[in-house]
Structures are given as structure tokens and as C-alpha cells.
Structure 1
Amino acid sequence: MTNEIKRRRFVGAGSGIALATAVGGLVQAPGARAADTGAGAGRLAEATDAIGAQTAGVTVAPADPRYPDLTSGMNQRWQARPDKIVLPRTTAEVVTAVREAVAAGKRLSVCSGGHCFEDFVFNADVKINIKLSLMNQVTFDTSMNAFCVGGGATLLDVYEALYEGWGVTIPGGICHSVGVGGHITGGGFGNLSRQYGLTVDHLHAVEVVVVAADGSVRSVIAARDSADARLRDLFWAHTGGGGGSFGIVTRFWFRTPGATGGPETLLPKAPSQIFLTLANWPWEKVTLDGFSRLVTYWGQWLERNNTAGTTAGSLYSWLLLNHRDSGSLGAVVQLDASLPDAATVLSDFLAGMDQALGLSSTTRRSSGVVDSAYTTTRLLPWLRGTRYIGAISPTQLDPTTRSIHKSSHLRTATPQRQIDAMYRNLTSTDGPSALTGIVLSASGGRIASVSPTATAVAQRDAIMKTNFESLWYDTKDDAKNIAWVRNAFRDVYADTGGVPVPNGVTDGCYINYPDGDLSDPAFNASAVSWHDLYWKGNYARLQRIKRDWDPRDVFRHRQSVRL
């Protein structure tokens, strides 16, 4: 294993806002489906212990020894001191917790996986935090003819249950411990997304705890095919509108639109085997010209190979542009090994990256793929490969780091001026953390086959995402690392006010990599507001749904949809 792969954490893949629209619960009993299940809906899914007795949720107060573990997420920059943390087991218990918060006028927040990059879940205003980790079941609901996923489930929970039980999957992110709640509602993506689309492209329904204008609290089921237009709107808002704006989703149901038959045919088949390549190029061998050619080649390859349903259009790649102090640049590439000419497509792609850097060398063949001295390819069963890629970096799942992240969508290969700015910042001498850099992740393929208004995800024709990031451990290093990310982002997008405004090249930001600076004129000097950077023209509909379903603005944070 290379030094690069030991060091990197690939947070880009699984970075989801694990907050207020998390989901949870057990499946409904057959025949129990209703469009509006009312305040007692959770009784259909009451948790039981081994002998069948009802098991209640948990409440943790400040004196409880568990309290310190439950007042922050993965990003240790953000801390809360709530009056209590509620860990429900059923939808009914979520309804009760929300009703109590509303009646007392107390600010609430919700956590599923705890990966929120910003302070949307953990901040000084939060008095009641609802943590959904005990609601992590993954089952098949015969009454809905769809897979039901609980709000406290992590991505690994979902992958293992769906694959081992039925041989299917959803195209979610790399990071194992990301909670499905924020990941899905932000339009989650991952290594199978160019092949199968976004997670929300396979979402069928959500159960949401909502608060009416009179303060009453209930749960409703909103589906893609709901007869009621208001419910269809509520469903749509959860296909990329982000967490924390409309209610608390207590259950997700998944079924690919148009799919028929038994459970094994209702979601994408997971690959039997995948090619998984890890690349590592020492920084001392990288010149400015080589760096420029690599970033250009990577983006232009995605432009040329963007057709859904093709082998090249299914290849997924992360380009890891680490700060020079880390010692190396890297890449992660995944491809379904069963696709036509998969080994040749992958070999050609890898050779192109080496050649762009001017580092072509003697090659070797492994698992049918031609590798160089800088790339290593393994042929692995899909689930094993998924577990492996999520676990090879110790910092990816490290709950003790502090971090800052900024994102962009690009519709074309990275322009030369932006590449020059990247190189300038990645080779700076200001000494940021070794866990600092810019991650480029592939988009396009099947993602682009869906209309930008069919779901709340507006950036459907982007070919890549970027994640400007730094992770560190000590509070004394906050200023230095935050400054590096802010300065690099502002430099790269200097032509458009320091942010990636939607135009022919850039296309705004990714809500699952939230960035509080976008709301601050000191960092966003463009004429484009933070919400239009996230949602573009879809924001007006999100606002209308917000007014309809959360008129009291109970579910809010610094960048929630505004009334």
C-alpha cells in the first residue's frame, strides 16, 4: 500500500449532511400503507427486543456518562450543549420528541451519521438533539414493494444488507460511517453513480415528521407516485433539497422507477467484481507542466467519455491533488469488471494519466489490467472492494479530526487559469496540515440522463465535483488550515467573485459539502446568493414547499431553505 493511500481519507465520496432529514424505523406491516399516517404512524413500526416486549428509546441528559460522545459529530470544530439528546427507536417517538420541542419553543436538530461539515447539527442554539442511530434497520417492505431503510443506518449498513440479502445496491458514497439521512436528501453520489445515477434516482418514498402552522406534529408518507400533489412536492424536496429544512425523515423506501418483479430486480445489481486502482505519484517528480497536463487530461477524458450505458461512461475516478507537503498526488479508480472491454478501458485511462505527468515507465499486467510503477489494480468482489476502499485510510473514519471543506461543480475540464491557481496553492510554503488538498471526483454518465428539475439536484450536466479541504487535530492549527482552504478557493474562482457561479464552466456548489462562507459577502463577492449556488432555479420550488410543510420554520439551520 502506498504512502498516499495510507494518508488520504477520500471524504469526498461519503460526505453527506447527516442531520435533520434522517430516516428510520422498521417496515410497515403488510397492508398498512397510508398516504398520511398521522401522529401514531410509528406504532406500525414499534421496536421489540428478543422476547417481543416493546423497547423504548433513550434520553441522555448532561449528567449521563454518554453525553460527551453525543454532543459532536465527525468534525470536532462543532460542539453543542443541548438540554438532552433523544435516541428514538420508532417514528412515534420522533413525533413525541418534536412535539415536546415545539411546545417548549426549544431549538432542535437531528443527526444520523454525524458527518455534517458545518455546524448545522451541533451548535450553541440547539437544545434538543434527536439522534437516529438506533433506527438503523434495512428490510424489504412487501406492502410498498420497496426496500425500507431506517434513518440511523449508515451507508455500510445499507450496502451489506441489500447486497447480502438480495444482491442489489444503491449508488452511494465511499465513507462507511456516513448516515443515509443527509446523504440521500442531498442527492448522494459515489463510485457507482456514473453507472447507475444518484441515490435519489432510486428513491421511491419517504416518511417525514412535520409540523403544521398550528404547531401540531404528525408523520406523513410522501412518494414519487403519491396521488396528492402536496405529498409529491414533499417527496421531491427530499431528492436533493438537503437536510434540515422540511421535517425529519424517519424512513426511506427505495425502488428504481419502472422496476418490476421481486426484490432482486427492484434496484441496481451490484457488480460481482470490480477493478479497483490506487495511483500514487511522488510530488518531487511532478512539474508544473505535468500537473497541468494531468488535470487537463482527467477532465477532458470525462468530457469525451460521458455516455450513459457505456463502459467508459461507467468508470469512476477520484483525482487527489494533495498539498505538496503530503509527499504525493494520487487517484482512485473503480470500474465494473464485467462490462465490455473493461480491462482495456481502464488500462488506457491509467496510461493516459502517467503519460500526462511525463512519468510513463515499464508496465506490468495484473488482473488483466496494465499497471505502471505508479498504479496498482486489484480485482475484488464488489462488497469486499467497497469495504476496503472505505477503510484503507485511517483518517477517513477518524472521529477526532477538525476540518473545513468547500465544493464546486464543473461542466467542462478545468480551465488553465484555475489549474495554475490550484498548483500555486498546492505548492505553497505556509505549512498547512498534510491532510490538505483538492479532490476532484467524476460525475456525468447516468447522472446526466435525468432532468435538472426531475429531482431537486440541479447540476445534472456537471462532469466533476471538487472538494477543497483540510483536516487537522489541534485547535491551535485552526486559523492556518481554514485560511489555506479559503484562500485557495477564492484564488481558483477569482474571476467570478471567489465562488463557482453557474456559467458555461462552473455550476455552483454541492449541498452535501455545505460551506457557511457562501452566505458571507466577505467570501462570496459574486451577485449569486448561496442558495442559488446550491440549487439554482430549483430554489423557488423548494421555498414554496418549505412554506407549505414547515410554515413555523421549526427545521432550520444557517443554510436551510428560507421561508
Structure 2
Amino acid sequence: MPDIAFSEVTREDPRYGSLVARSRNTRFVGTPSRVLVPRHAEGARQAVAQAVRRGERLAVRGGGHGLEGLVDDPGVTTVIDVSALDDVAYDPRRGAFAVGAGALMGDVYRSMYLKWGLALPAGTCPSVGLGGYVQGGGFGALCRRHGLVVDHLEAVEVVVADEGAGARTVVAGRDPADPHHDLWWAHTGAGGGNFGVVTRFWFRTDDAAGRRPEDLLPRPPATVLFASATWDWDDLTERDLLRLVANHGVWHAKEQADDSAYESLYSALYLNQRRVGRLVLNAQIDGGRPDARRLLEEYVEAVGEGVRASRTTSWQRLPWLQATARDVENRGGLTRSKSKGAYLRQPFDDGDGSLIHRYLADADYSGHTTIVLFSYGRAVNTVDPEATVVAQRDSLFKCYLGTYWADGREDATHVDRIRRLYRDLFARTGGVPASGDRTDGSYINYPDVDLRDPRWNSSGVPWHDLYFKSNYPRLQRVKARWDPQDVFRHALSVELPG
């Protein structure tokens, strides 16, 4: 039988509905003429070549966790879905691990750990697709100890548009002597859908010695100790919320990076809407440390010190692989959302806390707004801001702001609310977290088209500076070299210079 390079799914195909509705944010459902599902890397090249020759508007989908409608744009006529490219293998020729761009995080963790005892320092949601996550410069529970996932990216295989053949496949490596090195660099934080279709990544820690597979990536802890502290909204005052936010900020600001005790700490403080019923601090640490319980208890106590609202703390110790299977992002029926992000160089102050309390304490608001402060820094901040596209290398926190709801008739209400919260929170810098003493822009994996809109960004700082800072002109040069026809584009894609 002839090789089937890719499946073509049109609107008449029963698979069509499943493929176009893969977005985790159900506000966005695309209506492309067809979805192409490559069976292998050469199939991806053939799929791109055909679409380019036909002059079709392309978009690329991996795991389907995109928070904005970048793939589900009404102008897109062909979606290339790489989810079938999910292999995980050791490549002895490169001395690195080859992972298909469509692999889900949980499957990558399982395969690497069971076969080699290793882990990528990647995200905490097992259903996220690796393709978009890596290209955005992803972070996760191991990042304070081992850096971002792109800090371990050895090479990338990309199908790029070609004016003559329609498409060609290029492998670009980390070695500066590689003639395609600029293309590798562009895939270390610019986000997906900019330069081509990634079909495969190779991972290897930069200073790994030798070529034994077991020595090439970090070893995760054998066990993980979790603590979850919750404070009831029913008896929470504004003073309590301010104290909680201040304690959390002070602890991280004073933490000594040269003390290894807390290098494995990963923490997320969830400031939730009153109707959720509680504020939550989730924290984890290497469970193999003999002092793990004491360290985590001291951390939780420090964050909660002086907060008079009642607190409940639960504990759990899990083997590492089981710990990676916990899906902390499951929101049930609240599948519609609007999200925003910020890097914080300094903690929120009391003025910020009062504003946050005013929004979150509103008992009349029917949605679920949350502000999450993720612990950051340590190994992440040891990397030169120009070494990867991720230029934010001195922040204390990565901040996520989002609101969730179920009824599509309420979209405008909820989107407007999170827009106003974000604008008010960063009013001192034009309604966005512009780079300065307190903030340092945003994270492209929390894409937000409002940053292009002067109604919501009055800072005078272009959207691309908020994401990429001074690395953007270099990204434009890469764009001009590898995608001069602007085949791969969306609302927040790198633009051609000019």
C-alpha cells in the first residue's frame, strides 16, 4: 500500500468536529475548510507544501491549549494538526532525546522517566502539547532548579515555506556554528505559528557530559511532597488578603538563591473570586530531602503569618511520575475564558492588594476570576536574556490573570471585567506590565491580543516589546530569512521588518 503522508479531514468527515473543537478555551471554534493531520515529518512537509502552493491561510495546532483565538481565526482555511507526531526516543547520532512536537506533556514525562529515569523541566499540566509549550519558552515545577525547558533545547526540526517546492524541512541546532542557528534561537520563546511547522525537538542539557542517555537531562526527585493551604473567604477581610499577598512577596524577595534548601520549591498562590470560597496556596518540594516537611511547613507558616482567616492545610507525598499526572487546570464546565499575564520583578504592594480585593470580593460577579502568582527565578534567572528569546530573566514571579465562565451569552461581560482589572492593576504603566522597576512585560504562552489595542494598552510600549523586549528586531530578521512570504502568521506573530 502507498504511504499515507497525512490525513485530510474536511467538513463532511465525522472527525472534523473533534479536530476543530480541540481548543481548551471554548470561546473559539474554528471553521477551516480542512484539517491536515501528518503521519510523520515528511507528511508534514507535504501537507505544508500543498497548502502553500494552493495559497491557503495556514495555522498550526498541537495540544489545543491556546488561550486566545490565534489558531481558530475566521481567516484560516487550513489547520495542520501535529498531534500524531508524538514519538519519544533517544537519538544516538545527536546524543539527545528526540520528541515529536505533538506529544503531550504527561506522555513525555512517562516515557522519559520509565525508560531513562529522566525529566524535562516542563509544565504541570499533563494534557498540554509540547509543540506550543516549548516554542513559548515554557516553565514549570522544576524550573527554579533546572531552568526553562528551552534552556535544554538542543535542536528543532521545522517545515518552512519554500517559494519553489512549496515547503522544505530544516534542522536547526543550538551550536552557534550551525548555519541555521538563528532558526533554533527563534524557537526558544517566540511562540508557535511564526516561522513554520515544528515536527520534532531534540533535548539535552547544555553542559551534559558524554553521550550516555541517562546523563543528558535532569533527574527528577524520587518523590514530591505537596502542601495545599486554603483560607476561607467567609471570614477573610481586606487586611487578611493584603497580609497574605505581602507575606508571600516578602518571602520570595528575601529568599537567598545561594542557599540550596528551597531550590526545588515550586509554589502557586491562587487569589480566587469570593464565590470560589477560598484562597489557595499550593506548594511542592523535593520529597527526598530529610527536612522536606519542615521546610514546607515553615514556608506555609511564613506566607500565612498574621492572616486571621481560618486556614486548612493538607499534605500529600507522591512518587514523581504520579505527581506529574495531577491536572491542576481542570475547571469543569467553566470552559470559556479570557487570560492575561505579567512578569513581576517586585511583589504586589498594598495598593495592588486593595485593588485585587475590591475585584475579587465582589459578590455580584458571577464568573470565576483568579490571579495566580507562580514562584520563579533561581536557575531561570542565571541565563543571559539574549541567549534565548525569553528575555525576562530577573523576575520573582510569573503572574497569570484569568476569568472563567460557562454561558457564551455572557462573553462580553466577563472579557470586559478582566480587561478592566488588568488595566487598573497596571495603571501606573499605561494599563500593561511594561518593563520597569516593578514589572517586566508578559509571557507569550499567555497570549493577549488586547496588548495590541490602544484602548487597553496606553503605555506607548508596543505589544512585541512586552513579550520579547529588545530581542524582537532579531526575531524579525529571522522571519525575513525563513518566512519572507509571511505564510505563518496570526494576531500576535512576529512581523516582517519594514
TM range (shorter): over 0.9
Distance 1:117 1:445, change over 3 A: same
Partner-residue secondary structure (3-state), 1:257: coil
**Alpha-carbon offset, residue 439 of structure 1:** 1.1
Are residues 118 and 142 of structure 1, via their aligned partners in 2, closer, same or farther at CA, if it must alter by over 3 Å? Answer: same
CA contact (8 A) 1:305 1:313 kept: no
Decide which of 17, 32, 57 is 2:6's aligned counterpart: 57
Q: Which residue of 2 aligns with 1:366?
A: none
Aligned mate of 1:535, from 468, 475, 488: 468
Equivalent positions of 1:1-400 (< 5 A) are: 54=3, 56-72=5-21, 73-212=23-162, 216-225=166-175, 227-229=177-179, 231-261=180-210, 262-305=212-255, 307=257, 310-339=260-289, 341-359=291-309, 374-388=312-326, 390=327, 394-395=330-331
Alignment identity in percent? Answer: 43
The alpha-carbon deviation at position 75 of structure 1 amounts to 0.9
**1:409 paired to 2:351:** no
Distance 1:194 1:515 in 2: 25
In the alignment, structure 1 residue 551 sits paired with structure 2 residue 493: no
Which sits farther off after the overlay, 245-254 or 298-307?
298-307
The answer to whether the Cα contact below 8 Å between 1:306 and 1:444 also exists between their aligned partners in 2 is: no
Residue 459 of structure 2: aligned partner: 526
Question: Hey, what does 2:447 align to over in structure 1?
Answer: 514
Amino acid at match of 1:420: S
| 8 A Cα contact 1:210 1:549, kept in partner | yes
Aligned AA (2:203): F
Question: What displacement does 1:213 show?
Answer: 5.2
The answer to whether the 8 Å contact 2:433/2:441 transfers is yes
Q: Structure 2 unaligned runs (5+)?
A: none
Deviation at 1:489, TM superposition (A): 0.6
- Give the letter aligned to residue 427 of structure 2: A
Asked if 1 retains the 8 angstrom alpha-carbon contact of 2:63 and 2:127, the reply is: yes
Aligned equivalent of 1:495: 428
Divergent runs of 4+, >6 A? none
The more displaced of 324-333 and 472-481 is 472-481
**Alpha-carbon offset, residue 146 of structure 1:** 0.7
Aligned residues: 494
Equivalent residues of 2:334, 2:404 under 8 A apart: no
The residue type equivalent to 1:492 in the other structure is L
Matched, 1:467 2:417: no
CA RMSD between the two structures: 1.8
Q: Deviations over 1:249-307 (max 9, x none)?
A: 11000000010231111000011011111121101222111111111111121112251
**Separation of aligned partners in 1, 2:177 and 2:44:** 26
Deviation at 1:67, TM superposition (A): 0.8
In 1, are the aligned partners of 2:6 and 2:44 still within 8 Å (CA)? no
SS of 1:227's equivalent in the other structure is coil
Write the distance in 2 (CA, Å) between the matches of 1:401 and 1:547: 37
Q: Deviation digits for residues 487-544 of structure 1, max 9, x if unmatched?
A: 1111111111111110011010110000010000011011101000001111111111
Over 3 Å counting, the alpha-carbon distance change for 1:450 and 1:59 in structure 2 is same
| Alignment deviations for residues 136-155 of structure 1 (CA, whole Å, 9 cap, x no partner) | 11111111111111011011
CA distance in structure 2 between the aligned counterparts of 1:58 and 1:382, rounded to whole angstroms: 36
Distance in 2, matches of 1:470 and 1:325, equals 12
Higher RCO by CA contacts (8 Å cutoff, separation 6 or greater): 1
* Structure 2 residue identity aligned to 1:69: S
Distance 1:350 1:99 in 2: 54
CA contact (8 A) 1:309 1:445 kept: no
Q: Which residue of 1 aligns with 2:385?
A: 452
Deviations along 1:198-255, one digit per CA (max 9) or x if unpaired, are: 00011100001112455641011101015334x1111011111111111111100000
CA contact (8 A) 1:195 1:309 kept: no
Query: Offset of 1:111 from its aligned partner?
Result: 0.5
Structure 2 Cα separation of the partners of residues 300 and 208 of structure 1: 43
Q: Distance in 2 between matches of 1:335 and 1:450?
A: 23
- Structure 1 residue 419 and structure 2 residue 353: aligned? yes
Q: Is the alpha carbon distance of 1:317 and 1:356 closer, same or farther for their aligned partners in structure 2, counting shifts above 3 Å?
A: farther
Q: Which amino acid letter does the alignment assign opposite residue 112 of structure 2?
A: L
Distance 1:481 1:408 in 2: 19
Amino acid at match of 1:479: A
**Which amino acid in structure 2 is aligned with residue 71 of structure 1?**
V
